[in-house]
Structure 1
Amino acid sequence: MGDDLIEAMAEAVAYMDGKTKGLVTHEVLVPDDVDVAAIRKGLGLTRSAFCRRFGLDIRAVQEWEQKRRRPDRAARALMLVIKHNPQAVEAALHDAA
């Protein structure tokens, strides 16, 4: 196990130095835009119910849906998780409470 940790640290240092040849990296791509209204409607929720269910600010969701503001990267990622697995978000929020 110690050898694995040493190898992993060496790879991390190489990556930080810009030496990525031979390394496997996983880049997560968050889209530039998400259709918040479509995600909410796909779940059959009103805006207020959507916000209560997922702990979101109703004003922010309204602004996103009306395209007056764009969700930041973290919010866009959260919207995708809600779209694909709303139960996971609910479970995480329930466990945190």
Structure 2
Amino acid sequence: MKKIDVSAELMEALAEMAAHAQGDASRLVTHTVVVPEDIDVADIRKALGLTRPEFCRRFGLDVRAVQDWEQKRRRPDRAARAYLRVIQHNPAAVEAALHAA
């Protein structure tokens, strides 16, 4: 097991913060998050082989909201679209996170 030098990591983090505060972003790590503008909720649910109530119970969603999304009466907000995208790509991770004690 590798031993971590916490003081060295803190000093490095402080140096990065100071550089950033002075306008130097060259050492920053950035990520681009892509949230789809449109998402087919029914396709996601059907790909998992779940009924609407099962899908909602499993992922903590409101049945009426999912019904409205599937029937295009409403559009999921940005956070819901991001959540649905995660469900689409890794439903097991979502379930594990939601069922963790």
The TM-score, its normalising length taken from structure 2, stands at 0.75
Q: How big is the shift at 1:17?
A: 7.4
Q: Does 1:31 align with 2:33?
A: no
Larger helix proportion, structure 1 or 2?
1
CA distance in 2, matches of 1:63, 1:15: 44
Q: Which structure is larger by alpha-carbon Rg, 1 or 2?
A: 2
Residue 3 of structure 2: aligned partner: none
Aligned residues: 96
The TM-score, its normalising length taken from structure 1, stands at 0.78
Identity %: 68
Structure 1 unpaired stretches of 5+: none
DSSP 3-state at the match of 2:100:
helix
Compute the RMSD of aligned alpha carbons: 2.2
Equivalent residue in structure 2 for 1:57, among 62, 80, 84? 62
Residue deviations 1:27-48 (CA, integer Å, cap 9, x gap): 2121111111100010111111
